[in-house]
Chain A
C-alpha cells in the first residue's frame, strides 16, 4: 500500500529537512520525500539524544570539587604546630607534672573509661 502524502506535513517537514538533512529537491517523488521525512525525524531524535548526553557530561564536569582542607590530611599542620610551640613554652619538668597528678587516678584508666563511653 502506497503511503498517502499529506501536503501540509511535507511543507512543515520541508523546513526541518532543510535545517536538518539538507536540500529537498522540488522534483522528488512523494515516497522519496516520505523516506527523507522519516530519516529526518530520526535525525532529530539523535540530535536530542546527543544534547542530553552533552548535558550529562556537562553535569559531571560540574561535580563538586572539594577544597584542600577537606582532602589533604596535612592541611592545618603549620597552625597546629604553631599552637603546640606556644603551648610548649615554659613546660614544667616531668617531676612537677607528677606532683600535679599525684592526687589523680590513673590517666590510662581514665582513657579506658572514655573509650568505653564512645
Chain B
C-alpha cells in the first residue's frame, strides 16, 4: 500500500478547495497509508482557532459552529491516519539536518525530522508538502530524491 507523510501545509489543503486540494483529497479517498506528525494537531487546530477566535484585521472570521465543523472533520480524518510521535531520536535528527540545510522554522524542522525517521522504517514513504515559502522543500531535497516529494498546488 502506498505511504504518504502529510506535512501540515499539505494537510490543510484538504479543508479548503484550492490548487492542490484534489491531490490531497485523493490520498484520503483511495487506499493509502497516511502518516502525520502529532505536532500537526497543534498547528492545524491553531489555524482553525485563529480563524474563529483570534482573527487578524484582514481575516474574515468563522463562526463557532463553522469552527466545530472544521475541527470535527479534522478529528475524523486523523483518526483514520497513522500518528507519528515526536521522539528524542527526532531531536537528534533535527540537529543533523541543521548541519546540512537551513530550515528556520521549528515546526518545519520537526516535520522533516519525523519524515526522515519514518523513511528509515518505510523507505517508500513519500513526503507531501505545500510549503509556500519553499524552505522546507529545499531542505527535504537535501536528503531524499525528488521523486519522494509531492508538492500539491506547487510552490
Contact = CB atoms under 8 A, between A and B. Distances in A.
**Do A and B belong to a common assembly?**
yes
Interface of A: 73-74, 80-81, 84-85, 87-94, 96-98, 100-112, 114-116, 118
Interface of B: 8-10, 12-18, 20-21, 25, 28, 41, 43, 46-47, 50-51, 59-60, 62, 66, 69-76, 78-79, 85-87, 105-108, 130-133, 153
B70 A97 contact: yes
A91 B75 contact: yes
Contact of B132 (A84, A85, A112): A112
Instruction: Please classify the interface of chain A as helix (H, G, I), strand (E, B), loop, or mixed, using the class held by over half of its residues.
Output: helix
Mostly, the B contact residues are helix
A94 B25 contact: yes
A90 B72 contact: yes
Identify the 8 closest CB pairs spanning chains A and B, nearest first. Answer: A91-B76, A87-B75, A88-B75, A88-B76, A107-B12, A91-B72, A98-B17, A101-B16
B62 A104 contact: yes
A107 B85 CA distance: 24
19 contacts: A84-B75, A87-B75, A88-B76, A93-B73, A94-B14, A94-B73, A96-B69, A97-B15, A97-B73, A98-B17, A98-B21, A104-B51, A104-B59, A107-B13, A108-B130, A108-B132, A108-B153, A111-B8, A111-B9
B78 A84 contact: yes
Contacts of A85: 75, 79
Given A94-B25, A112-B132, A103 B60 contact: yes
A112 B9 CA distance: 8
A80 B28 CA distance: 22
Contact of B17 (A74, A90, A102): A102
Given A91-B76, A97-B69, A98-B15, 20 more contacts: A84-B75, A87-B71, A88-B72, A94-B25, A96-B73, A100-B69, A101-B70, A104-B59, A106-B18, A107-B13, A107-B47, A108-B12, A108-B131, A108-B153, A112-B133, A114-B46, A114-B50, A115-B105, A115-B107, A115-B133
